[in-house]
Structure 1
Amino acid sequence: MNRMKFELLAGFGATIVITCLAYLQAFTSENMWLMAPFGATAVLVFGVPDSPLARAKNVIFGHLITTAVGLVFLYFFGVTPITLGVATGLGIFSMLITKTTHPPAGANPMLVMMTHQTWFFLINPVLVGAVSIVVVAHLYNRLRKISLLNTK
């Protein structure tokens, strides 16, 4: 029973944070608050919160590093099949070398390049969204642990 409760609460935590970011996006149409990799981030931070891949450092810096790589390639090398591949590979290499591996962030160079984002994308949605997810997940997971420990 506790395992099913954990899984249900993990899904509920993801629901909360993605819904909040979606509402922010809906009410501020000029700002982007969501990106698809955040859904995969939610799987890690709520579903396997003790994983090294779900650490705050990995979530935030993994997303920032790979987004920056995508932006550099977009603005300095353009978008071609080769630059898409090299940017993705370099983003993964950069996360691994900095010990900030976060698998959902591996999609960021492609996302940035294929949608022709601006440098502001690095701040919003990437930094704001990643920090929001980390903060909500941290608080939520602490409450969840307390709740699970107190139930018999």
Structure 2
Amino acid sequence: MSKTIFSFVAGIAATLAIGVLAYLDSLSISPGVWLMAPFGASVVLVFGVPASPLAQPKNVILGHFFTALIGVIFITYVGVQPWSLALATGLGVTTMLLTKTTHPPAGANPILIMLTGQSWSFLLTPVLLGSCVIVVLGLVFNKLRVLYLEKP
């Protein structure tokens, strides 16, 4: 498949993934239940460079979860100060590297969570459910792409 076709197909798939999450979010009572800004960067990796180690399901789901967990722990027990924002982000990077779950978009999670005052429920929605939706759609899309667009 040519780079141009791949680029358009990846863009369409990213559009669909964010569209699904945005639609589910619009059906929710409050915004931000299915969608968060770092998912925009996640779809770049999942659909644009699917073979990258940074785009693998384990990295997407656990990278988002671990960094979000750190953000919630910090907002709950430490508070939000310039130093705590920096420390939480650094701990997120360290955790992803140590657990081999590095997913760069997840590095934004502690900052997002701490600046917007999120609670423990944020770990389930949007973090876990949203990242799982992206991963499932990525797996389906990439399987279809290989089957139908990459002919030997």
TM over 0.5: yes
Per the alignment, residue 131 of structure 1 pairs with 132
Aligned length: 151
Question: Which runs of structure 1 show a deviation greater than 3 angstroms over 4 or more consecutive aligned residues?
Answer: none
What is the 5 A alignment of 1:136-151? 136-150=137-151
Per the alignment, residue 54 of structure 2 pairs with 53
TM-score for both structures, normalised by structure 2: 0.96
- The CA deviation at 1:59 is 0.2
Cα distance per residue 1:108-131 (max 9 Å; x no partner): 000000000010000000000000
Establish whether residue 22 from structure 1 lines up as the match of residue 29 from structure 2: no
What is the 5 A alignment of 1:1-152? 2-30=2-30, 32-150=33-151
Matched letter for residue 30 of structure 1: S
Cα distance per residue 1:62-108 (max 9 Å; x no partner): 00000000011101000000000000000000000000000000000
Whole-Å Cα distance in 1 between the matches of residues 99 and 2 of structure 2? 36
Whole-Å Cα distance in 2 between the matches of residues 121 and 29 of structure 1? 14
User: What are the ranges of 5 or more consecutive residues in structure 2 without an aligned counterpart?
Assistant: none
Q: CA RMSD in A?
A: 1.2
User: What are the ranges of 5 or more consecutive residues in structure 1 without an aligned counterpart?
Assistant: none
Identity of aligned pairs, percent? 53
Deviates more, 1:11-20 or 1:22-31: 22-31
